[in-house]
Structure 1
């Protein structure tokens, strides 16, 4: 069981490759499901990597005085995007995740006749 726990990502990649190579002979809902799960996983991992690169995002006003960072005022409401400079390593996950999501949507639209 420890072996499966350790190498489950490789197994998932092999299953994804098998599904993509046999996509014409498999039912389209199965192909869409597999692509959607892969897209969701890659987008989640990319978001985690992006947030980790710059630390937790802050929504309060920041000022610097004598080289020290001072957060002024209450935190602002709403979500904050991570620092855009930390997106580089996350693109390894985000770009294939976005491609898989778009392909899954295209498969659904093609089979619904839209």
Structure 2
């Protein structure tokens, strides 16, 4: 049991599934907010995968001047292109997130009579 970790993301997934299961009994705006929130969260997760947040740290350039070591920050700024193996998961996050946001918009518009 030492290697067992509790992940709060599963609680969020179960909560979204409970709301979607009971969507006929809940107000449409609550359902739209939960589905939209899940879509935004998935888009944020996709962006993290895309920009390699939490990945291997970029190496600083090391220069020596008069016997002292000086570390210079990398010249590259802004998000880098993802590794080839990260493109698939990021695309999956983006696609599902956009679908959930569109579904939330449709639920919200239908609740207002459009």
Q: TM-score, normalised by structure 2?
A: 0.65
Deviation at 1:6, TM superposition (A): 3.1
> Which of structure 1's runs of 4+ aligned residues deviate more than 4 A?
83-86
Give the structure with higher Rg (CA).
Answer: 2
For each residue in 1:59-86, what CA deviation from the matched residue of structure 2 results, as whole angstroms up to 9, or x when unmatched? xxxxxxxxxxxxxxxx9xxx77846965
Label 1:6 to 1:83 Cα distance change in 2 as closer, same or farther (>3 A).
closer
2:102 match: 102
In 2, Cα distance between equivalents of 1:104 and 1:32: 4
Unaligned 5+ segments in structure 2 are 57-75
Q: How many residues align?
A: 90
Greater share of helix: 1
Deviation at 1:89, TM superposition (A): 2.3
1:15 match: 15
Q: RMSD of aligned C-alpha atoms? A: 2.9
Unaligned 5+ segments in structure 1 are 56-74
